[in-house]
Amino acid sequence: MPTKLFEEEISGRTYFIEVHAISTEQWRAKLARRPGMPTALMPFYGKTPELAARELTNWLALVTAPPRAR
């Protein structure tokens, strides 16, 4: 099955996202293995490579955003 690679800048950091087809209508996105990066992250799924990568990108943006002022 094909693999696609996306590069996204989120909160000032560059992330590389690998997306693998797991069936004809399901794709799994995860952070690409890079030296010094943690790999224990749950995968995200979508019907297209772009949707799967977008799910992971949205989650990363949420968890890396600076805390809101109170």
Cβ proximity of 10 and 20 under 8 Å: no
What integer pLDDT is reported at residue 40 of this predicted model?
59
Look-up of token digits 């797991």: 22
What is the pTM for the complete model shown?
A: 0.78
For 50, the domain range is 3-64
Structure tokens belonging to residue 12: 């000032």
Beta-carbon neighbour count of residue 24 at 10 Å? 8
In a domain, residue 35? The reply is yes
In a domain, residue 69? The reply is no
In a domain, residue 17? The reply is yes
In a domain, residue 70? The reply is no
In a domain, residue 46? The reply is yes
Considering its fold, how many domains does the chain have in total? 1
In a domain, residue 52? The reply is yes
pLDDT, block means (10 residues), the chain with 70 residues: 88 90 92 72 90 94 78
